[in-house]
Amino acid sequence: MMAFILILLFLCTHCVTGSYPRAQNVTWRSVNFKTVLTWEPKPSEEYSYTVEFSATGENKQRNHHCIRSSATVCDLSSSLTSLSSCYIADVLSEPPLGVTSDLIEFPHSSSPPFCPYKDTIIGQPDFRLQVSEDKRKTTLFVSDPLTALFQDGRQLNIRDVFNEQLQYKVTYRRNKSTGTKVVTSKTNVIELRDLDRGESYCFSVQAYIPSRTTSQQHGVMSRTQCSNDQDPSIFKVYSMGVIAGAIFLILLLIGILIAIVVVCCKHRKKEEKGGKEGVPLHDV
């Protein structure tokens, strides 16, 4: 009787889940429209994964690199051709390539929706600084990050995709200061004129797309670059503690040198006096 119950439970489980485990943690990862689908776990030799995807209201498609594969990642960058559409992907658990199965429908797991235009992360931009000769203006020249998209054999950058929607947000501060200011520009050439002449400032830049939802408006912050202080004061370069320590060290060295000189002079005079006392007097 117990054996019969165990057989029924096994058959019931087999009917519900199929003979292959479902994929888990199906997630989109996209930076500059380099878009991949990832999931877990890595399959055994007894099964594989196939990815199907579709835009809202359209038929499902497959990428030939992601059919009955042992990988747990599928690059769909070139497959999501309508950037303004939203996509859903299914990861099917199927037999390995060349193996057949009696199952009509294979276990599958679905991804959350993904909309390339709204959801891809914009990566770090590069920029260079230029300070005018009169030190009254600092200009930032920003380079648009490249994307994973191509058109007519040319690799597109993010301005090719977002056009007038793309802006850049500059965060800057006086060097060695914590207070920051922010300025936004619609162009790649950003001029800053409200800086103190001769002071060193530090700058960071990130893409800004105001048409997106608040959580997706900002791209990744660039590395920080600082302008050179043209005439730095010693009090700006070093703290008062360092300056005081240096003065104390100099005075200590001078005191030691003076002490050595005094000791040497006394020792020399003592030797000369002792030498004179030891000389005998001559008869007159």
| Residue pLDDT, tens place only, 3-61 | 444 444 333 333 334 478 999 999 999 999 999 999 999 999 999 999 999 999 899 99
pLDDT score for 10: 39
pLDDT for 143? 97
What is the pLDDT, as a whole number, of residue 5? 42
pLDDT for residue 252: 84
> Distances from the Cα of 102 to the Cαs of 95, 99, 105, 108, in angstroms?
10, 11, 9, 16
Contacts of 227 (CB under 8 A, 6+ apart): 129, 131, 138, 200, 201, 202, 203
117-140: average pLDDT: 93
- Closest by Cα among 174, 223, 182 to 200: 174
- At residue 272, the pLDDT reads 67
Q: What is the CA radius of gyration of the chain?
A: 37
Q: Mean per-residue pLDDT for 159-182? A: 93
What's the confidence (pLDDT) of residue 101? 78
- Answer whether residue 106 shows pLDDT above 80: yes
Domains of the chain with bracketed CATH: 17-119 (2.60.40.10), 126-230 (2.60.40.10)
- 7 against 173, higher pLDDT: 173
**How far is the CA of 50 from the CAs of 4, 65, 100, 141, 255, in angstroms?**
36, 9, 14, 45, 82
pLDDT top residue among 247 and 74: 74
Residue type at position 139: T
Q: Report whether pLDDT(256) > 70.
A: yes
pLDDT score of 276 = 55
Handedness of CA 29, 34, 37, 43 (dihedral sign): negative
Q: What is the pTM of this model?
A: 0.71
Helix H or strand E encompassing 13: helix 2-17
Position 68 pLDDT exceeds 60: yes
Instruction: Tell me what pLDDT residue 208 has.
Output: 98
Across the range 155-160, mean pLDDT stands at 97
284: pLDDT strictly greater than 50: no
Whether the predicted pLDDT of 240 surpasses 80: no
Q: For residue 161, what is the enclosing H or E element? A: helix 158-162
